[in-house]
Amino acid sequence: MTKTVFSDVLVIGGGIAGLQAAKKLSELGLKVFLAEREPFLGGKLNSFAKVFPDNSSPGKFLGELIDFVIKDENIQVQTKAEVKEVNGKFKGFSVKIESTDSSKKPVETDLKVSAVIIATGYRLFDAGKMPQFYYGKHRNVLTGLDFEEMFKDNILNQKPLFRPSDKGKLASVVFILCVGSRDEKYQVNCCRVGCLNALKQAYELKQLHGEEMDVYICYNDIRAAGKEEEELYRRTRESGVLFIKGLPSEIKPLSENQLNIEVFDLSTYKLLSITADLVVLETALSPNTDLKDKLNLPLGKDGFYREVDIKFNTVETPIKGVFLAGTSQGPKTISETIEHASFAALEAATLISSKTNL
């Protein structure tokens, strides 16, 4: 079954960036078609019990934003949707979208829009590419996102966390920063969120377990710039988290339940040996560029979609009428993503309402 739909803007992606862009476009009086590949809205933020810098729960904010988008008469939402083809140009894009209806029958939508906002987010770096960390080989080695997904309910309900391999007691946890980021072989740039996420997670562990648990953060540099981020760093230090300036070259499994980490601490010039029940890898944010060929979009040196100007215009692309929102353009915090998506919506609305087509 094929249906034709007319709208002003197609927003691709129903995470925090796509939701915010759709909301802002509607407030500006435009019709929006939001296409999300997953069967649900909210993206990766659904996995988080709390977010930095204030360790607040994102549930209420995310729920209200999703509720607005679903109920707003200017916004049409299609989940389980995939963009198959894009033709045309500004004020005349024709987009083929495939989805399934409630009876699981395929539906093809021929969408006519003036502009497109890409809000497809990022991909988490595959830590399995660095075999020295045993990710995917040892059950007690997780990524930061794995940590959020596995322990969300425990953190929300203030229940002790457990060792993934046997549900046993956690006595020692090691966070390793910059896995795949600031690395010439993988992602050369800082991921912007790894340090802060580790600070938040380490603080959560100390709040739940206190002196019964040793928590370590192995780092190159702690980057905690922002209005409340430095306060999070101070709060985490005062909670008893131990900071080691250095990254381990490898992890050695001691058993199915424990691992050994040897790391040279550059602040004390000592080689430290730690027995850990859990290792958490704070990984790079990698580009998600599935739409590159369909929209003929160029990529930047970092592999993310290239913007018109890295300093003065990070939402427009070289393709007129195609905009970037959130981490599709590059790594960002949640607040930066919301601001960026709002700006993308404003720029798209401004261009559509402009009397010139130059």
274-309 confidence digits (pLDDT tens): 999 999 999 999 999 999 999 999 999 999 999 999
Q: In what order do the strands lie in the sheet with 242-245?
A: 141-143, 278-283, 172-179, 214-219, 242-245
Q: Are residues 67 and 144 in the same domain?
A: no
- To the nearest whole number, what is the mean pLDDT of the chain? 96
Residue 157 CA to residue 196 CA, distance in Å, equals 22
Q: Are residues 303 and 229 in the same domain?
A: no
Does the pLDDT value for residue 1 go beyond 90?
no
Q: Are residues 144 and 199 in the same domain?
A: yes
Instruction: Provide the pLDDT for residue 357.
Output: 52
Instruction: Provide the pLDDT for residue 240.
Output: 97
Radius of gyration of the chain (CA): 22
Does the pLDDT value for residue 257 go beyond 80?
yes
Q: Are residues 265 and 310 in the same domain?
A: no
358 assigned to some structural domain: no
Q: Which residues are paired to 76 by β-bridges?
A: 33
Q: Are residues 178 and 247 in the same domain?
A: yes
Residue 62 CA to residue 14 CA, distance in Å, equals 11
Q: Are residues 317 and 171 in the same domain?
A: no
Does the pLDDT value for residue 104 go beyond 90?
no
268: amino acid identity, one letter: T
CB atoms < 10 A from the CB of 358, how many?
4
Backbone angles phi, psi at 175, to 5 degrees: -100, 135
Instruction: Provide the pLDDT for residue 105.
Output: 86
Instruction: Provide the pLDDT for residue 308.
Output: 97
Helices 59-71 and 16-27: angle between axes, nearest 10 degrees: 50
Does the pLDDT value for residue 241 go beyond 60?
yes
Supply the CATH number for residue 26's domain: 3.50.50.60
State the average pLDDT over residues 351-358: 75
Does the pLDDT value for residue 232 go beyond 70?
yes
Choose one of 283, 315, 333: the last residue of a domain: 283
Backbone angles phi, psi at 89, to 5 degrees: -150, -175
More confident position, 63 or 227: 63
Does the pLDDT value for residue 11 go beyond 60?
yes
Q: What are the tens digits of pLDDT across the range 132-185?
A: 999 999 999 999 999 999 999 999 999 999 999 999 999 999 999 999 999 999
Query: Domain of 193?
Result: 125-283
Q: Are residues 58 and 40 in the same domain?
A: yes
Using pLDDT thresholds of 50, 70 and 90, give the confidence band for residue 228. Answer: very high
Q: How far is the CA of 131 from the CAs of 26, 127, 270, 277, in angstroms?
A: 47, 8, 25, 19
CB atoms < 10 A from the CB of 125, how many?
22
Task: Give the chain's domain count.
Answer: 2
Using pLDDT thresholds of 50, 70 and 90, give the confidence band for residue 79. Answer: very high
